[in-house]
Amino acid sequence: MPQPVTRTQSDEGTSMTNEMGTSDGSTPAERIERIRAELTRVTGLAAEHVLADTETIGAAEIAERAKAEISRITGLAADHVSAVRNEADGWRVTVDLIELKRIPTSSDVLAAYDATYTLTGSLLNYHRTRRYSRDQMMSGE
């Protein structure tokens, strides 16, 4: 999140100073990039996963993010994204992961994980909703 900025008077005129007391004449985009880099360093998340509070992301980006993030969290290989829903309070994404590889691959055991994201792309929660064989026919969908 951007740091609060306060204004102070100096002999040369008005300058901007952040709460750490350092002069900051950078543009908002430069400040966002600096904040992203710091959050990446602190949290270990890739910079592209750290967004400013006001930036919203599209369906393709949230689908790719969910596929990578849920796979990384669970340690399972992602197979595909089967649903992306944009709702008023955020994104709902269903990612199908391979829980058990078998030969032939048509008998792999997959699991569907539902994930909830904010409109800006922050993961709020996820959970496994079902397990199924890759060759299993789905009814009603």
CB 83 within 8 A of CB 59: no
Long-range contacts of 125-132 (CB under 8 A, 24+ apart): 126/70, 126/73, 129/94, 131/99
Cα distance between residue 19 and residue 30, in whole Å: 17
Tell me, what's the pLDDT at 44? 60
Ordered by start, the domain boundaries in the chain are: 5-49, 59-133
Lowest-confidence segment of 35-39, 59-63, 68-72, 104-108 by average pLDDT: 35-39
Q: State the pTM of this model.
A: 0.60
For 5-50, write each residue's pLDDT tens digit: 444 444 444 444 444 434 567 777 777 777 777 766 765 655 555 4
116-132 per-position pLDDT tens digit: 999 999 999 999 999 99
Q: Which residue has the higher pLDDT, 2 or 60?
A: 60
Report CA dihedral (100, 130, 68, 75) to the nearest 10 degrees: -40
Q: Match 């006001």 to its residue by tokens.
A: 54
The CATH fold of domain 59-133 = Nuclear Transport Factor 2; Chain: A, (3.10.450)
pLDDT in tens, 102-113: 999 999 999 999
Instruction: Please give the pLDDT value at position 136.
Output: 84
Residue bearing the bigger pLDDT, 14 or 60? 60
Q: What pLDDT score does 9 carry? A: 45
